[in-house]
Amino acid sequence: MRIPIGISNRHIHISQIDAEKLFGKEYQFTTIKGLSQPGQFAYQETVSLKGPKGQIDGVRVLGPCRKHTQAELLLADNFKLGIQAPIRLSGDIQGTPGCEVIGPAGSVVLDHGCIVAKRHLHITVAEAKEAGLVDGQEIKVKVHGDRGLVFENVIVRAADTFALDMHIDLEEANAAGLGAGAWGEILF
């Protein structure tokens, strides 16, 4: 099965409460583009993340607001910030380190919420069934090219609201020499 691959840089999902602290009460975000998943988008706005050892500026805010604020980092960001964000699926933030999030109207100190996103495949339930996949299954995905490789430990995330897309981060994409329009194939 041929699957498109989406590449993410570091970014942050914020709660409505934290959005008001960072950007001001009733602030309206400016959407710059839709993302691969329906109803998800990138905002023009950015924040800074500050840890014990350093700060990263220009971290893109993604929408819409979520129940809990969550920063999705690159592995190298751990060194810059001086934290040890674990590799986790989005939303699995219990027991993770936090950082300070700095916006134009204020800041928020998170006691947890920093992760490195675990690679995963978004797929509809019908597509998963047709491909013989189930939600939560671990698969391998092969990519081709001069730096072709096999991504192991790819978690299947099946839901009727998803669109087919494998998500990897910028470091993983660079290691495989992937860019816009990249695709892979599922190995069993």
SS3 43: strand
SS3 14: strand
Residue ranges of the alpha helices (H) in the chain?
16-23, 77-81, 125-131, 170-176
Q: Residue 120: is its pLDDT beyond 90?
A: yes
Give CA–CA dist 141/181, Å, rounded.
16
Q: Beta-carbon neighbour count of residue 178 at 10 Å?
A: 22
Going by pLDDT thresholds of 50, 70 and 90, the confidence category of residue 188 is confident
CB–CB of 26/186 below 8 Å? no
Give CA–CA dist 138/121, Å, rounded.
10
Give percent of the chain with pLDDT exceeding 90: 98
- Tell me whether strands 11-15 and 70-73 are parallel, antiparallel or unpaired: antiparallel
Report which secondary-structure segment, H or E, holds 33.
strand 31-34
Domains for the chain: give ranges and CATH numbers.
9-117 (no CATH), 120-187 (2.40.40.20)
Going by pLDDT thresholds of 50, 70 and 90, the confidence category of residue 35 is very high
